[in-house]
Amino acid sequence: MFARVDQDALKDLEDPDLSDERRLALMFIAAVRHLYRSVAPAAFVSRAAPGDRDAALACVNCDTDLRSPALYCSDRCRDVAKHIRYIRKIIHDERITVPDLQEAIGIRLLYIGSGGAGGPVPIGASATDADAARMHAERDRILGDMAFRVAAPTPLRACDDWRNWETRQREFKLARRGVIEARIGSVAAE
């Protein structure tokens, strides 16, 4: 699925006038391509199975226990999942080679990698080298996890599945409402 990306896009990494945003997007795409080729399909472990995870009311993106019918624990998790679906989709339809879309992807990756909504504060004047190193490590961890999920031949989580998420998220919400109502019912019966 990355044949055209090789030819059309990654050579632009050598362009000295490349924007930081597009450079990040191209490096992300290169990482995805590398994972897609080097990781055996069976090693992409699916975490998309519903069932127990519905009952646990966990964040669909990171498994944090929510104790509420919400799908995500944070705006950041919503952003990460939305962006994974989007990149998987445009790799599928080959629009990943369009420079403007790469620029847009880079802008989102920078935003998510810098903490996004509710994430760590930006590096300010008082930040130490240790703060900066920690933030870079955190960014690499988040973007690395995203690259792995984008590269997976089949979606690793239900929220990574651009074809079916619209339907699946309704099922998740209904199941969660059911869990909450059952809990309220069992408390009321005591």
Residues that bind Zn ion (CB under 5 A): 59, 61-62, 64, 73, 77
Least Å distance, CB 73 to Zn ion, is: 3
**Please, which residue, 33 or 85, has the CB nearer to Zn ion?**
85
**Please, which residue, 63 or 131, has the CB nearer to Zn ion?**
63
**Please, which residue, 39 or 56, has the CB nearer to Zn ion?**
56
**Do the beta carbons of residue 48 and residue 157 sit within 8 Å?**
yes
How far is residue 54's CA from residue 190's CA, in Å, rounded to a whole number?
A: 24
Least Å distance, CB 66 to Zn ion, is: 8
**Do the beta carbons of residue 158 and residue 168 sit within 8 Å?**
yes
Least Å distance, CB 117 to Zn ion, is: 12
For 58, phi and psi rounded to 5 degrees?
-90, 155
Task: Please give the structure tokens belonging to residue 92.
Answer: 């599928």
**Please, which residue, 74 or 114, has the CB nearer to Zn ion?**
74
Least Å distance, CB 79 to Zn ion, is: 10
**Please, which residue, 73 or 151, has the CB nearer to Zn ion?**
73
DSSP secondary structure of 30-73:
HHHHHHHHHS-GGGS------THHHHTTB-TTT--B-SSS-S-S
Least Å distance, CB 144 to Zn ion, is: 17
**Do the beta carbons of residue 102 and residue 96 sit within 8 Å?**
yes
**Which helix (DSSP H) or strand (DSSP E) does residue 25 occupy?**
helix 20-38
Rounded to 10 degrees, the C-alpha dihedral 10/12/16/18 comes to -100
Q: H helices of 39-164, where? A: 52-55, 75-92, 99-113, 129-151
Least Å distance, CB 64 to Zn ion, is: 5
**Please, which residue, 25 or 80, has the CB nearer to Zn ion?**
80
